[in-house]
Structure 1
């Protein structure tokens, strides 16, 4: 996909109806030859809209007006480029726990959670959050994660998690204000509810920090998985991570994770992790596929705000 195509798609399929600011900005960048020329000097993974917009927000630049955004990026390109090259879109969206919960709750308990691409590890606490599926609430505590779910009976309880660990090339620390400010910058401008969720989830994680290991999803996964306690069901999971992994490495990961003991939950776009015989998605908006052990079960929106069960 070209840089232009990625910005057009982000605006029309991800930001449309969800973030007017980013929808407008994406479509403008897609027509901005000067900015596109700078972005095209970067590796493909460093050109993506979420990363560029997050970096500009983190540096204190404007994103609410395309003209001032253009002027800021062109004027401060040296600083913007440096951050683009060193940072990654580690959006630690706890709302995604709401689309994982029905799968996690149905597995043999207790469970040992291992997240690949864990960022700050906020999705390692599905047992500590509360959930609302329409009128049905599960669990207690903060944040309360709301999900419009169809086609399934919501779970009646949260999972019993006895061990939690994460693997990431650059794990973030929820007790470090700089790392938390980067997570905040990755949240889209209008999404005050997601900022409140981030703060609440960060407080949960900071009170009982997870085991986060700096490492590669293929080379270092078996050693970390071996540390899970006996008597617990190992669950390796990932959400919107594999698009950042080159296809050959992605294939090596899939082969590896299938052979590990326990279970594997994937929540990825169908172009990234394809499946045969998928039903049509509920709309033209970008959806992920939630799958258990390679078997697709549901469509899910990127921030966990909705899911359609078909498995």
Structure 2
């Protein structure tokens, strides 16, 4: 896929109906030869729309108007390029816990959670958040995570978590204002509710910080998994992470995680982690596939805002 095609796909499948600002910007970049030429000097994984738009916003640049975005990006390209090469899309969306919850609540309790690609670890607190599936509410406290769920009976309670740990190449610290400002820049412009949710989830994590380990998802996973307490069900999980991992490394991770004790929950795009016999997605928007131990269960939207159960 060319860089232009990647921006068209992002605009039409991810941003459409979710962020008019990013939809408009994506289409503009896809037709902007000057910006495409600059982006094509970067490694493929550093050209993605989410990363570019977040870096420009984090540096104080404009995203509301494609023309001013073009001018700012061309003028400030040296500074933007430095950030693109060093940063990653570590969108730490606690809302994704809403699509993980039905699986987590059904596993043998208590749980030892280990998230791969944990960012700041905000998805390691599914027991501390509240959830609303239509009229059905589960749990208590803040934030309240809303999810439009079809084809399933919502869980009756939150899981019992006795250990939580995360593995990331560059773990972020919710007590570091610079790290939190980067997490806020990754939230799309119109999504004030997600910014409020981030702050509430960050407060939960800061009050009881998780164990976050800087490391590789293959080389360092077994040692961290071995720290999980006996008597708890180990759950290794990840969501919208593996697209950043080269295919061969991804396959090595899948082989490894299948051999670990406990369970494996994945929530990834179907072209990133393939499953046979998937039903049609609910619509043309970009969906992830939620799976337990390699068995697909549901279509989910990227920020946890909706899920369609079929498993």
> What TM-score do you get using the length of structure 2 for normalisation?
1.00
Q: Which residue of 1 aligns with 2:7?
A: 7
Q: Which residue of 2 aligns with 1:54?
A: 54
Q: Which residue of 1 aligns with 2:151?
A: 151
1:197-254 deviations in Å (ceiling 9; x for gaps)? 0000000000000000000000000000000000000000000000000000000000
Instruction: Say which SS state the counterpart of residue 109 (structure 1) adopts.
Output: coil
Q: In 2, Cα distance between the equivalents of 1:104 and 1:63?
A: 38
Q: Which residue of 2 aligns with 1:70?
A: 70
Q: Which residue of 2 aligns with 1:210?
A: 210
Q: Which residue of 1 aligns with 2:177?
A: 177
Superposition map of 1:243-254 within 5 A: 243-254=243-254
Q: In 2, Cα distance between the equivalents of 1:2 and 1:215?
A: 31
1:197 correspondence with 2:197: yes
Compute the displacement of 1:2 (Å). Answer: 1.2
Q: Structure 2 stretches of 5 or more lacking a match?
A: none
1:32 correspondence with 2:63: no
Q: Which residue of 2 aligns with 1:106?
A: 106
Q: Which residue of 1 aligns with 2:130?
A: 130
Q: Which residue of 2 aligns with 1:277?
A: 277
Q: In 2, Cα distance between the equivalents of 1:83 and 1:224?
A: 30
Compute the displacement of 1:81 (Å). Answer: 0.2
Q: Which residue of 1 aligns with 2:298?
A: 298
Q: Which residue of 1 aligns with 2:97?
A: 97
1:31-75 deviations in Å (ceiling 9; x for gaps)? 000000000000000000000000000000000000000000000
Q: In 1, Cα distance between the equivalents of 2:45 and 2:173?
A: 23
Instruction: Say which SS state the counterpart of residue 132 (structure 2) adopts.
Output: strand
Segments of 4+ moved more than 3 angstroms? none
Instruction: Say which SS state the counterpart of residue 97 (structure 2) adopts.
Output: helix
Q: In 1, Cα distance between the equivalents of 2:116 and 2:105?
A: 19
Q: Which residue of 1 aligns with 2:225?
A: 225
Q: In 1, Cα distance between the equivalents of 2:179 and 2:231?
A: 34
Q: Structure 1 stretches of 5 or more lacking a match?
A: none
Compute the displacement of 1:159 (Å). Answer: 0.2
1:249-296 deviations in Å (ceiling 9; x for gaps)? 000000000000000000000000010000000000000000000000
Q: In 2, Cα distance between the equivalents of 1:299 and 1:115?
A: 20
Q: In 1, Cα distance between the equivalents of 2:150 and 2:11?
A: 26
Instruction: Say which SS state the counterpart of residue 167 (structure 1) adopts.
Output: strand
Q: In 1, Cα distance between the equivalents of 2:274 and 2:285?
A: 17
Q: In 2, Cα distance between the equivalents of 1:232 and 1:2?
A: 46
Instruction: Say which SS state the counterpart of residue 52 (structure 1) adopts.
Output: helix
Instruction: Say which SS state the counterpart of residue 57 (structure 1) adopts.
Output: helix
Q: In 2, Cα distance between the equivalents of 1:113 and 1:148?
A: 25
Instruction: Say which SS state the counterpart of residue 63 (structure 2) adopts.
Output: coil
Compute the displacement of 1:307 (Å). Answer: 0.1
Q: Which residue of 2 aligns with 1:121?
A: 121
Compute the displacement of 1:80 (Å). Answer: 0.2
Please provide the CA RMSD for this pair. 0.2
> What TM-score do you get using the length of structure 1 for normalisation?
1.00
